[in-house]
Amino acid sequence: MTKNMKNKKHLYSFTYHNPEYELCKLESRSIFNEEEKNKVLFSDIKTEPSSSAFIKSRLDIISLSEDYSTLIDEVKKEKISAEGFKVEYIVFDGDTTGYRDRLGKLKDIGFSIDGDPDYYSPTITYALCYYEGVWYFGELIKDIFDWRKHKNKPHSYSNSIGATIAKAIVNIASKAKKEKNILDACCGVGTILLEACFSGNNIEGCDINEKVCRNARENLSHFNYEAKISHSDIKDISKWYDAAIIDLPYNLFSSASDNDIVNIIESTAKITNRLVIVSTIDITTLINNIGFRITDYCIISKMGKRKFTRKIWVCEKKI
């Protein structure tokens, strides 16, 4: 562990399946300006785990030491007082600490905190972990996975992007900055809007199809979210946005010709300096032709009866 990593404020743990590997890396670069490695990342940037489908937890580091006894002394010096606390042990790759030894260490931490523990309904959760020769202790914030309820939205398309991709796209577009003003330029039934609203992002949507706009509003209303959704052709929108997301139409419900796709991208490019485009085809030439450059990129493959591949392009206006 380098000295630079040891001085970071937060330790993040990640979880993902192999097909999501590239998307997780892209989201990590967008939020933290660096990739997670071995599903672990140290950073001074603070973001909520539940805003990402890949961040499993965030440890806000209170004390650390290469020596376990020294760590316990440091924790005692903090004079932490908390009623109803809980302490967990996080196991990372390379940690060979046995189960009984982990339990003993959790007791050491528990006895170093003033207050009665509550394992079942804690008011605050702390955690202990060992990673690359260093012991860490801090407050643990976990993904509560409440966003998974969006799978039960009233309206959906079989080929719509899933919540995992939608959450990542919102973070990639906004760089996890809630104050950014984002447009979902082909919002469909609102899958991206749902994840943005859940995470507290400032987002609006539009779609040329009146029916899907109505369905999107009903989906948001079902979960008590609010976002402006315009039944509008993107070329008629003049408001400026910090970033825009384009999930290009490609299925039976929202088909589009090559000219339509060109018009969507060209029109959206006029109202923002940052584009995140989801496409099933190579649009490199088109991106260059509208005066944007590709700053990042990934491929997502979905296995089923047939392999289905999406490409995500992160683009910024050329200066």
What CATH number does residue 295 fall under?
A: 3.40.50.150
Whether 194 and 305 map to the same domain: the answer is yes
Q: What is the pLDDT of residue 304?
A: 53
> Are the C-beta atoms of residues 115 and 84 closer than 8 Å to each other?
yes
Q: Which residues contact 232 (CB under 8 A, 6 or more apart)?
A: 206, 207, 208
Which of these ranges, 10-24, 110-124, 234-248, 252-266, has the smallest mean pLDDT? 252-266
Quote the CA–CA distance of 186 and 256 in Å, as a whole number.
11
DSSP annotation of 288: H
Q: What is the arithmetic mean of pLDDT over 266-279?
A: 97
Confidence of residue 159 (pLDDT cuts 50, 70, 90): confident
Nearby residues of 130 by Cβ (< 8 Å), 6 or more positions away: 92, 95, 97, 136
Q: Are 54 and 14 in contact (CB under 8 A)?
A: yes
- pLDDT of residue 76 exceeding 80: yes
Are 166 and 194 a contacting pair, CB within 8 Å? yes
Shared domain for 89 and 154, answered yes or no, is: no
253 vs 74, higher pLDDT: 74
Tell me what pLDDT residue 319 has. Answer: 81
Q: Please state, rounded to an integer, the average pLDDT across all residues of the chain.
A: 93
Q: Which run of H or E residues covers position 241?
A: none
* Residue range(s) defining the domain that contains residue 86: 3-142
Q: Are residues 112 and 217 in the same domain?
A: no
Question: Which of 107, 142, 177 represents a domain boundary (last residue)?
Answer: 142
- Residue 6 pLDDT grade (very low, low, confident, very high; cuts 50, 70, 90): low
Whose structure tokens read 């509208």? 290
Q: Is-contact 156 189, C-beta < 8 A?
A: yes
What is the total count of domains within the chain? 2
pLDDT at 149 over 50: yes
For residue 60, give the CATH number of its domain.
3.30.2130.30
Residues 120 and 189 in one domain: no
Q: Tell me what pLDDT residue 5 has.
A: 59
- Report which listed range, 4-8, 163-167, 251-255, is most confident: 163-167
User: 278 with 167, same domain?
Assistant: yes
Which residues are bridge partners to 136 per DSSP?
Answer: 64, 129
pLDDT tier for residue 253 given thresholds of 50, 70 and 90: very low
Collect all residues with Cβ–Cβ distance below 8 Å to 152 and sequence separation of at least 6: none
Write down which residue in 85, 118, 142 finishes a domain. 142
